[in-house]
Amino acid sequence: MPTDGRYDYALREPRLPRPVDTTLAGAAIDLDTRLGMYQRLHELRQFEKRAYDLFLQNLVKGTSHLSLGMEAIATGFGAAMRPDDYTFATYRGHAHALARGMDMGQAMAELLGRENGVLGGKGGSMHLTDVSKGMMGSYAIIGAHLCVANGAAWSAQMRKSGQVAVAFFGDGTTNIGAFHEALNLAAIWKLPVVFVCENNLYMEYTPIDVVTAVGNPAAGRASAYGLEPVLVDGNDPDAVFLAARTALARARAGDGPSLIEAVTYRSGGHSRADPGKYRPEREVSAWAGRDPIPMYHQRLLGLGTPEARLSAIERQVADAVDTATEFAKAGREPGEGSLHTEVYADGGSKWRN
């Protein structure tokens, strides 16, 4: 049993971000895509900041898990995916839902538990789902949805639809059995599926290195399933977009699954109740300096985009978030009746009671 320094959290070195890869400015990504990603980054950021404000006003009920700081991953993938591709996300799923085009008002209303929410106020923050947008659910049981994504990928293969299933999950998730089952299944069946590990360096409150056999929880396991290790900067939308494009094309071409590890950091705590104090100050501030949004702003300016264009996008997003908030607040609370609906195919639950 390890009793060495691995367990001494005080001696643990902070995990600092790598510097920005400035060569990515020259990547072959057209400006419209980039501006779209810029807008998306802002949508995810401003939406979640608003959600947090509403929580402080006691309007968002229950727990929720924010992706603040991690938006580049959902953004990069959202931009690279086809509208009919499948997304499977976790309880930390607001960003992925919005990145697939879930209506912001309906999403906000769902967080508020209102009847006009995307799930009628029955799913809440942890279960955002919108089948019409290919957002096939947010799953709050660690690892479960990786296997599910395989099944959806299999169906796409059988229907020859060319769709790809993408499963997003955390670093901690690489240590549960379902992760390993899912990767092996995808590999032996050569399924059109992409596994995306959002490595934010923490499994809840525990640093991932303390509980993981390899330094890179996903990339370090890829070879066990005959896959290439793919490690990308999860705070750079361009890096994520390029990795996504490659993996999606590979899946669509029938060349099987990919496993991508996108290294990132959440700027806040694990969930609403968590101030995140277990993280070294130096680590938190270093990552704050690698926030994807100011970096991308600089990159777009460097590519010749006028400041006015970027600030217009920011204003437009701010308006959209305000509108979404008003829409959400205007919604009614679901009545007692909604408790008993949709348990069985007949639409109810009554025959059992």
Partner 1 sequence: MTVRNIAQAINDALDLALAKDSDVVVMGEDVGRTGGVFRVTDGLRDRYGADRVIDSPVAESGIVGVGFGMAVGGLKPVLELQFMGFSYPAYDQVVNHVARIRNRSRHRFSAPLVIRIPYGGGIGAAEHHSESMEAIYTHVPGLKVVVPATPYDAKGMLLAAIEDPDPVIFLEPIRLYRAVKEEVPEGWLTQPLGEARVEREGEDVTLITWGAMTKETREAAVLLEENGISAEVIDLRSLVPLDIETLTESVQRTGRAVIVHEAPRTGGFGAEVAALLQENCLFDLAAPIRRVTGWDTVFPLKRSEHHYLPGAARIAAAATQVMEV
Ligand X SMILES: Cc1ncc(C[n+]2csc(CCOP(=O)(O)OP(=O)(O)O)c2C)c(N)n1
142 vs 183, which CB is nearer to ligand X?
142
Binding flags for ligand X, 197-236, as an x/- string (CB under 6 A): -x-x-xxx--------------------------------
**What is the Cα–Cα distance from 136 to 85, expressed in whole angstroms?**
10
Using CB under 5 A as the binding rule, the residues of this chain from 202 to 231 that contact Mg ion are: 202
Nearest 5°: the CA angle 315, 316, 322 is: 90
The yes or no reply on residue 187 touching ligand X (CB under 6 A) is no
The yes or no reply on residue 170 touching Mg ion (CB under 5 A) is yes
Binding flags for partner 1, 82-121, as an x/- string (CB under 8 A): -------------------------------x-------x
Binding flags for partner 1, 158-177, as an x/- string (CB under 8 A): --------------xx-xxx
The yes or no reply on residue 188 touching ligand X (CB under 6 A) is no
Residue corresponding to tokens 């990547």: 27
Q: Which residue in 16, 35, 140, 286 binds partner 1 (CB under 8 A)?
A: 140
The yes or no reply on residue 260 touching ligand X (CB under 6 A) is no
- Residue 263 backbone dihedrals phi, psi, to 5 degrees: -85, 130
Residue 237 contact among ligand X, Mg ion, partner 1, none, beta carbon within 5 to 8 Å by kind: none
The yes or no reply on residue 93 touching ligand X (CB under 6 A) is no
What residue number has its CB nearest to ligand X?
170
Give me the least distance between CB of 171 and ligand X, in Å please: 4
Helix axes of 292-302 and 237-252: crossing angle, nearest 10 degrees:
90
**What is the Cα–Cα distance from 310 to 316, expressed in whole angstroms?**
10
User: What is the total count of residues that contact Mg ion (CB under 5 A)?
Assistant: 5
**What is the Cα–Cα distance from 106 to 97, expressed in whole angstroms?**
11
Pairing between β-strand 206-207 and β-strand 202-203 as defined by DSSP bridges: antiparallel
Give me the least distance between CB of 152 and ligand X, in Å please: 20
Q: Which residue in 24, 25, 35, 210 binds partner 1 (CB under 8 A)?
A: 210
Q: Candidates 170-178, 219-227, 307-315, 319-327 — which segment interacts with ligand X by CB under 6 A?
A: 170-178
Give me the least distance between CB of 70 and ligand X, in Å please: 8
Q: Report how far apart, in Å, the C-alpha atoms of 161 and of each of 97, 134, 164, 252, 301 are.
A: 22, 14, 9, 9, 39
78 vs 120, which CB is nearer to partner 1?
120
**What is the Cα–Cα distance from 210 to 6, expressed in whole angstroms?**
6
Residues contacting residue 158 through CB under 8 Å, at least 6 positions apart: none
Residue corresponding to tokens 């660690």: 142
Q: Candidates 45-53, 150-158, 202-210, 297-305 — which segment interacts with partner 1 by CB under 8 A?
A: 202-210
Tell me the two tokens of residue 33: 């895509």
Q: Which residues bind ligand X (CB under 6 A)?
A: 92, 140-142, 169-173, 198, 200, 202-204, 270
Give me the residues that bind Mg ion (CB under 5 A), please.
170-172, 200, 202
